Amino acid sequence: MTKTLKRIDPLQLGKISGAFYGLISLIFAPLFILFAIIASFAPKAQGSPSAPITIGIGLAMAVFLPIIYAAMGFIFGVIGAWLYNLIAKWLGGIQVQVE
């Protein structure tokens, strides 16, 4: 049986996209902390930040990037759903086959 997806609720897709991107970015948070710790032990050139500042930047990125990713996922999910609904009116939507 073939069904056609005619419309997507923009706010619902925004919530799902925001949660998805926020959770995906949590995978990278430990990597930011690890790389900041590794960078803090690297030899420093004149004028480069000290070890505590480098670690602080990594921790701040680990905290704020999931929030930023979730917000951007929400915004682009809403925009994407709005664009899909606009285009689906002209072209008829996506056809999926279900059993």
Strands (E), the chain: 2-5, 94-97
pLDDT digits (tens, 9 = 90+) for 67-80: 999 999 999 999 99
State the average pLDDT over residues 52-77.
89
Is the pLDDT reported for residue 58 higher than 90? no
Number of structural domains (the chain) is: 1
Sequence-distant (6+) residues with CB within 8 A of 93 are 4, 5, 6, 7
Residue 69 belongs to domain spanning: 2-97
CB 28 within 8 Å of CB 64: no
CB 39 within 8 Å of CB 13: no
Is the pLDDT reported for residue 52 higher than 90? no
Is the pLDDT reported for residue 43 higher than 90? no
Look up residue 43 and give its DSSP letter.
P
pLDDT digits (tens, 9 = 90+) for 6-35: 999 999 999 999 999 999 998 888 887 888
